[in-house]
Structure 1
Amino acid sequence: MDFRPGEEQAAAAALAARVFRDLSTPERLAAAGSGSDAELWKALCDCGLVAAVEDTGLLGLVLVLEEQGRTTAQVPYAATCAYGILPVAAHGSPEQRRRLLPALGTGEAVATGAFPERGRVSAAPDGRLTGTVPWVPWLRDATHVLVPDADRDLWLVRTDAPGVAAEPVETTAPWSAGRLTLSGAGAERLGGGRPDAYASVLAAARTAFAGLQAGVCAGSLARAVEHTSTREQFGRPLAAKQGVLLRAADAHMDTEAIRVTAYEAAWRIDEGLPADGHALTAAWWASEAGKRVVHAGQHLHGGAGADLEHPVHRHFLWGRQLDAYLGCGSELLAELGAHLARPEDDPDRADAPGCARTFRAGAAEGGRA
């Protein structure tokens, strides 16, 4: 395994760090409220960071999402890439790739996904969808929603299509979320009905959001280190106290565990190796350890950590939201256990031979189209 980023991946991460640092300030975040920062989103699209995901792959996306997480920038970057660019590149038809990828890369189109499955959506023989998804992240910004039906076929739905309704929903973190209601809505199938398409998209999305959580935790811990190093008590920095050092050290180890498991899952998916169990592992660390880190970040700020307006509180909200989005630790462990218990030659096993290679093969085919 080699997690060292390539030249393009490192350049994308460095550019993202600069853009997020310059434009995602606490003042701008406060002004955005529960919505997205349209100016920041335009800047990310204009400098090519959205379209570049086709070339930098999932590991490159994870690296950029780490930088987003450090500043909790309110843009639909993770959703558009994980539920738009990567699935269309891997599973879209040549016509879908030609039509959708340029629009997604420039920000003309914004994607999100009804993942993991929340609610039930059924598809009629003519491809019309009916059902409700209680909340979808960044739905209020989206032009397209990737929706799995009861049979886990993938459907791409336009949010302005007849039969599609989106009602704003406020979540723990300000993710411009909404309730999606489909009433005989027209949709286009993605993946040609291949049974492995759903598992491929879900594994990549779990890995991407785990990378986002790694950044959220790193940002929370950085703020805590700065606070405890400069705040003095009885003439000594708080960081000199053993209890503070141990709490920060535990948070650092948890953050590194989230990062390395996300990197491994992303690298395996990019290399076409079986990775669904690794994606579940990354999601578990991001959920279980992530909430420990953001709690520690608040606690290490003392009374300031209880201030809802303090920047560290935003990391707390994002960490808890990602915990809820990925699924609680016990749910993920149960799914991982069931995954590991299935025999390797079980055709329903998500990383059965050939299935985990679908993303790489589909992306390569897209590059030739």
Structure 2
Amino acid sequence: MDLTPSERQTLTEQTFAALFDSELVTDLRRMGQRDLGAGFEASADDASADAREAVWQTLCELGALRLTPELTPGSGLADQVVLARHIGGALYQSPWADTATAVDIATAAGRTDIVARLADGEAAAVAVRAEAVDEPDRPGPVDVTTEPGRARAVRRFVAFAPDVRWLLLAGTGTGTGTGGETMLLLVPAEHDGISWHRHDDMGRGDFYQVDFDGVPLADAVDLGGPDAGAVWAEALLRSRIRHAAYLMGMAGAALEETSAYMRTRRQFGRSLASQQAPAFRMADAATEREATRLLVEEAAWLADTDRDARLAALQALACAAELARRAATDAVQLHGAVGMTEEHDAQLFYRRAAVDSLLLGRPTELRRLAAPLLARACA
């Protein structure tokens, strides 16, 4: 039976709503986090690792990586946006977003065999930044040697490197015969030429520095080809729309948590929610969230209908990043001192927003990229 886009999104909502139930979300938000200062070798405890693997397997069984027209006719980025919003609200750390990017790239390369393996749960992590301050629009260098062909590169802030089956190395070739071309290499994560250590980040997450030390090109799957630059640009655009939805979900959950707390916290003899100044502050943030939702959904619709979604994707991510940070800041401030303790999730939203809002481009860089597109649209 053919479904309309609205009916399909409703079905997607219903499919994943049970997994991200309000009672389960409380545990998901803290699943696998490490104490700040735990060091490079810190790992999640066994119980947390097992639980996170179980949630990942459930996601895959529900079809989280099959929300593309090639795998599920009629589905598309709009459905992925629904799922990303749920994941953001739960602050659930997983390789879903990077694996979805790998699915996009493998689909563009015509590698249906790789797409099938990824869709069945062989997770991937995207490795693109050579330095922490690099922007994903300009993949870091990959030094390619000949006789025999080998690739050397360093990548920072790679998510879940020890937990995935594949590493997608996105880079700009700098060695013999590469001509500065974009490269998209899918490498087995357990390859002998790969090593990593964990970044001790503010969000207590799963980010790693990964060293590709002379990985033979023969051991990698080339997903780029002559149009690798265009393939990466399109995959990044779709990644940004998904990430904007994730940040929107994060902001929405932070606002809901804060609203619930304000109804119980009393100041000057009445609840904080009934007082004009904080209530207006929350109303303003809720309005901004609604505007961001419309931007994200428009960007997904444009991409799904093969229209130019570049400007909408950049605008959606810039707005979602600022919204996530603002909602997290409001959460901490309106909770008061208790919001900075482990007792409440306000501090968790704040720490995660500080890191996650920058993953696919700083807001200033996103606006720089959007400026010429906006000028052209207004001409």
Alignment TM-score, normalising by the size of structure 2: 0.81
Using the alignment, how far apart are the partners of 2:253 and 2:183 within structure 1?
A: 37
Is 1:133 aligned to residue 155 of structure 2?
Answer: yes
| SS of residue in 1 equivalent to 2:357 | helix
Say if 1:13 and 1:191 are closer, same or farther in 2 by CA, change over 3 A: farther
State the Cα distance separating 1:88 from its structure 2 match: 1.7
Q: Which moved more, 1:273-282 or 1:284-293?
A: 284-293
- Following TM superposition, the consecutive aligned residue runs of length 4 or more in structure 1 with deviations greater than 6 angstroms are none
RMSD: 2.5
Using the alignment, how far apart are the partners of 2:238 and 2:361 within structure 1?
A: 15
The 8 Å contact of residues 65 and 212 in structure 1, kept in 2 or not, is answered as: yes
Equivalent in the alignment of 2:38: none
State the Cα distance separating 1:5 from its structure 2 match: 4.4
Instruction: Give the number of equivalent residue pairs.
Output: 335
Equivalent in the alignment of 1:46: 61
Q: Spell out, residue by residue over 1:265-292, the C-alpha distance to the aligned partner (whole angstroms, 9 max, x if none).
A: 1111111011112111112112223211
The 8 Å contact of residues 126 and 159 in structure 2, kept in 1 or not, is answered as: yes
Q: Which moved more, 1:250-259 or 1:49-58?
A: 49-58
| SS of residue in 2 equivalent to 1:154 | strand
Is 1:88 aligned to residue 106 of structure 2?
Answer: yes
Say if 1:265 and 1:144 are closer, same or farther in 2 by CA, change over 3 A: same
Is 1:144 aligned to residue 166 of structure 2?
Answer: yes
What 5-or-longer segments of structure 2 have no aligned partner?
35-43, 129-135, 173-180
Q: Spell out, residue by residue over 1:293-352, the C-alpha distance to the aligned partner (whole angstroms, 9 max, x if none).
A: 2111221212221113412222222222222213322221112224556799xxxxxxxx
Using the alignment, how far apart are the partners of 2:155 and 2:197 within structure 1?
A: 11
Q: Paired residue for 1:69, among 67, 71, 88? A: 88
Q: Paired residue for 1:273, among 295, 304, 307? A: 307
State the Cα distance separating 1:25 from its structure 2 match: 3.6
Q: Spell out, residue by residue over 1:32-70, the C-alpha distance to the aligned partner (whole angstroms, 9 max, x if none).
A: 224561111111112223334443211111110101111
The 8 Å contact of residues 20 and 73 in structure 1, kept in 2 or not, is answered as: no
Letter in 1 for 2:169: V
Name the one with the larger helix percent: 1
State the Cα distance separating 1:228 from its structure 2 match: 0.7
Q: Paired residue for 2:210, among 154, 161, 180? A: 180
Letter in 2 for 1:71: A
| SS of residue in 2 equivalent to 1:6 | helix
The 8 Å contact of residues 134 and 179 in structure 1, kept in 2 or not, is answered as: yes
Using the alignment, how far apart are the partners of 2:118 and 2:7 within structure 1?
A: 23
Is 1:308 aligned to residue 342 of structure 2?
Answer: yes
Q: Spell out, residue by residue over 1:218-240, the C-alpha distance to the aligned partner (whole angstroms, 9 max, x if none).
A: 00000011111122223311011
Say if 1:202 and 1:28 are closer, same or farther in 2 by CA, change over 3 A: closer
